[in-house]
Amino acid sequence: MNKNILEIRGLKVAEKRRDNNSFIVKGVDLAIRENTICSLVGKSGSGKSLITACIMGILASNLYSEGEILYRDKKLLELSEEQLNRIRGKHIGIVMQNCSCSLNPLVKNGRQLSIVLKEHLSKKDSRSKQAEKLLRNVKLDNPRSVMNRYPHELSGGMKQRLLTAIGIGGAPELLIMDEPTKGMDVILRNQMADMIYQLHKKTNVSILMITHDLELAYNISHDCYVMNQGRITTHGETKKLFETTNDCTLIDLINAQKMMTEFFAV
């Protein structure tokens, strides 16, 4: 059994101005094992993105958190902004939900990538080589052309790949991907699934993948956590969990996805 790279214990999130009975995240325990892909699935609004915000230390200022998030031996919720900055990007990378908002429309793609690489590589030469390598790792096959274009000149799928390259620019050992296939058609979705899996295999990066896409979770994640209304309702080794579950939330999610697939297959 692989060691845990990240452990969340009793995580709660609430609004500062509300009373203690109205937690949005209501005591989440979750562990990501080294060198694995862990998926977090659940209904919209269940608190998945808030968990990522807590890990990265970017929770909105009107919210507060309780509990513990352990990355290796570090308690992330207790670190200062400066200490967190040493971990963000370099040890834990993130590709946020709503990817287009994360790119500056007026800055060419190559520069967006090199801004991240600048923090980790001092030589300009090695930066541009590394940028090409990263873009190839996320299956953007013509890296020079991608680097010379602006974000609006890329398709949605290409933007998601570019953001993934930026997310792994600091060679983190854990990458958080929030909805990596959102809004993609089936073909693009499959390509993205393949890219994520190959990236994981090639670089050994552990991945926390938040998704509504149960087929993606089933196909590429080793472990899966299911969330509803601020709580983890079940978790386990993904294939076994999906095949034997009697968890109502997971069954609802599977049925909803089946209906969609059957609907579109007609």
Q: Round the CA-based radius of gyration of the chain to a whole number and report it.
A: 19
Q: What's the min distance (Å) between Cβ of 24 and ligand ATP?
A: 4
Task: Fill in the per-residue mask, 4 to 23: x = in contact with ligand ATP (CB under 6 A), - = not in contact.
Answer: -----------x--------
Judged by beta carbon distances under 5 to 8 A according to partner kind, the member of ligand ATP, Mg ion, none in contact with residue 167 is none
Phi-psi region of 52 (alpha: psi -120 to 50; beta: other; left: phi over 0): alpha
Q: What's the min distance (Å) between Cβ of 265 and ligand ATP?
A: 24
CB-CB contact of 25 with 67 (8 Å): no
Residue 205: name the closest of 214, 215, 217, 196 by CA.
196
CB-CB contact of 198 with 164 (8 Å): no
- Per CB under 6 A, does 246 bind ligand ATP? no
Query: Which lies closer to ligand ATP via its Cβ, residue 41 or residue 103?
Result: 41
- Per CB under 6 A, does 101 bind ligand ATP? no
Distance between CA atoms of residues 233 and 260, nearest Å: 23
Helix (H), strand (E) at residue 259? helix 248-265
Q: Which of 49, 191, 219, 245 touches Mg ion (CB under 5 A)? A: 49
Beta-strand relationship, 37-42 and 223-228: parallel
Query: Which lies closer to ligand ATP via its Cβ, residue 59 or residue 84?
Result: 59
Q: Which of 10, 18, 22, 60 touches ligand ATP (CB under 6 A)? A: 60
Which residues would be at the binding site for ligand ATP (CB under 6 A)? 15, 24, 42, 44-50, 60, 62-63, 97
